[in-house]
Structure 1
């Protein structure tokens, strides 16, 4: 088993991506993402230069998110640690994320804005990874208080990014079935609604 093969080995590199969501005004949230690459061994770069162990990348992205539609309305990024000073020039692509909706196609749009030679692959990776935290963080904030059960499945605003997002949320999956049962039970117990 692979887990057994590495149990006595020392790491040579790690990538940590951490994300957090914070409440803001008017049903908005602020989502912070952080990518940290750490090298644990001494290496030789492509030019033969010796590079010592340590943090290679530390990149942070902050997005203010508004609902209806779920989208980025303000964005800021910085790069506290980078391998080359020129890396910071790629931050010019970050403002182009403003207005981007969190919906199917988000990662493709991020690639168009900051992927490849247009930007930084690490910042693009962080931005793409943040899509799920944006959705989960916003839903968590939204569900801080109980909400009424919808009259039917068509009235669920979140279904656009929940339906078919995974096996549990597929159209005939357990989450949708449970929701259907809850709606039917509500109608049975409250026939006037």
Structure 2
């Protein structure tokens, strides 16, 4: 159900975040994020002159190449539009993500490497949805591979309340990993 109707208003700012996941031919995965900020009015910028509606104040990209363990193997970043001429100067710092694993503590680890003056606020923010997209991209494929092969817990196990190991979804989809109470089935008395 959508939000209820809003009070009369006018648009001032639009931020768009788009993320896509790709399976590569070499067995790795590319996860790309794109962030844009647009004002719905013209304003002056010291570096770029007047920025018109429809022109992006911010337009930035990130590509993380990860392996099956969600470990970052390569990073590409780009700044197409920014409010200051020297914004792109920080882009080399994003190589600090190489070797980092997308897992619990990801956000904290990213901020340790790229927080405050060590990174770009917009690209660091974009890494959150990129990480989620990585998980959403890999989890179903890797889970299907496990079901057809070696086993092991599904990557979604215990990642949210729906995927709790003692919950009904895990009991139905991954019964071998279910940890909740067992339901005793009535004995077959042969009368059915």
Please state which band the TM-score falls in when normalised by the shorter chain.
0.7 to 0.9
Q: CA RMSD in A?
A: 2.9
- Which of the residues 164, 183, 192 maps onto 1:170? 164
Structure-2 residue corresponding to 1:81: 81
State the shift of 1:78 in Å: 0.3
TM-score between the two structures when normalised by the length of structure 1: 0.76
Equivalent-residue separation in structure 1 for 2:147 and 2:157 (angstroms): 19
Equivalent-residue separation in structure 1 for 2:44 and 2:100 (angstroms): 40
CA offsets per residue over residues 58-92 of structure 1, 9 Å max, x none? 1000111101x221101100011111111101102
State the shift of 1:182 in Å: 6.4
Indicate how the Cα distance of structure 1 residues 117 and 183 shifts in structure 2: closer, same or farther if over 3 A, else same: closer
Larger Cα Rg: Structure 1 or Structure 2? 2
Equivalent-residue separation in structure 2 for 1:66 and 1:2 (angstroms): 38
Indicate how the Cα distance of structure 1 residues 10 and 74 shifts in structure 2: closer, same or farther if over 3 A, else same: same
Secondary structure at the aligned position of 2:109 is classed as helix
CA offsets per residue over residues 128-147 of structure 1, 9 Å max, x none? 22111011112244367683
Secondary structure at the aligned position of 1:3 is classed as coil
Does structure 1 retain, via aligned residues, the 8 Å contact 2:107–2:128? yes
Equivalent-residue separation in structure 2 for 1:142 and 1:164 (angstroms): 16
Does structure 2 retain, via aligned residues, the 8 Å contact 1:61–1:75? yes
Indicate how the Cα distance of structure 1 residues 26 and 97 shifts in structure 2: closer, same or farther if over 3 A, else same: same
Structure 1's unaligned 5+ residue stretches are: 185-193
Does structure 1 retain, via aligned residues, the 8 Å contact 2:143–2:154? no
TM-score between the two structures when normalised by the length of structure 2: 0.77
What is the correspondence of 1:1-193 to structure 2 with a 5 Å cutoff?
3-6=4-7, 9-43=9-43, 52-53=52-53, 54-67=55-68, 69-142=69-142, 147-148=147-148, 155-156=152-153, 158=155, 162-181=156-175
